[in-house]
Amino acid sequence: MKKIERRPQFQKNFRSRIAPNKNLKTRFDERLKLFAAGERGKPLNDHPLGKNMKGLRAFSITGDIRVVYYETASTYIFLDVGSHNQVY
């Protein structure tokens, strides 16, 4: 299993955008377990990004909340988390 690394920008945005809301935090924890287990379809809807974010991927926490990340041979690197407008 690949490890998950959280970059400083991700951690900062997680603390301000996700952690204060108990429901979002719970949903994030649930989706993270699915992601770590290898799920990529529903409800995560993992997908590649395009244009100026080419090479990155995103998955859904809720209908509007996304995690933006990229993958190396051994690690998933989480870059940002927030609403669609905040991360794109």
Residue 70 confidence class, pLDDT cut points 50, 70, 90 = very high
What does the pLDDT average to over 51-67? Answer: 95
pTM more than 0.85: yes
Place of tokens 């959280």: 6
> Average pLDDT, stretch 31-41?
95
Distance CA 74, CA 49 (A): 21
Amino acid at 5: E
CATH of domain 3-87: 3.30.2310.20
What is the rounded average pLDDT of the residues 40-49?
A: 95
Question: Above 90 in pLDDT, residue 33?
Answer: yes
Strand order in the sheet with 65-71: 3-6, 75-83, 65-71, 57-60, 47-48
